[in-house]
Amino acid sequence: MCRSIKTLRRADEAATTGELEAAARQYVRKISGYRTPSARNAEAFEAAIAEIAAASDRLLGALGVAVEDGPDRWTPSTTPRVRARA
């Protein structure tokens, strides 16, 4: 199991479309083994990100979690582990 996957949504706040895209990008990078795709694979890489973000949106909707339009609000300083170290 990968220990480097980060939590990209805080449970006490609505998710944002930016967070869904960031989570999808992280997943595609992990599955493909590439941080950035080659020019030849860029279209497939971006299509996979869009599909996974859409599936994540449906999942959160089914769980009753609000999804707002907006950027990824995740920053290392807002995670509980980082706040505990401060």
In the chain, the number of structural domains is 1
- Taking the chain (86 residues) in consecutive chunks of 10 residues, what is each chunk's mean pLDDT? 62 85 92 92 96 95 89 64 55
0.95 surpassed by pTM: no
Residue 76 is assigned to a structural domain of this protein: no
pLDDT at 83: 52
Looking at residue 1, its pLDDT comes to 45
Half-sphere exposure of 5 toward its Cβ, with a 13 Å CA cutoff?
A: 12
Helix (H) or strand (E) holding 16: strand 15-16
Output the pLDDT for position 71. 80
Type and span of the H or E element at 60: helix 42-63
Residue 56, in any domain of the structure: yes
Asked whether residue 84 is domain-assigned, the answer is: no
Provide the pLDDT for residue 73. 72
Query: 78 in a domain, yes or no?
Result: no
Its domain, for residue 54, covers 15-71
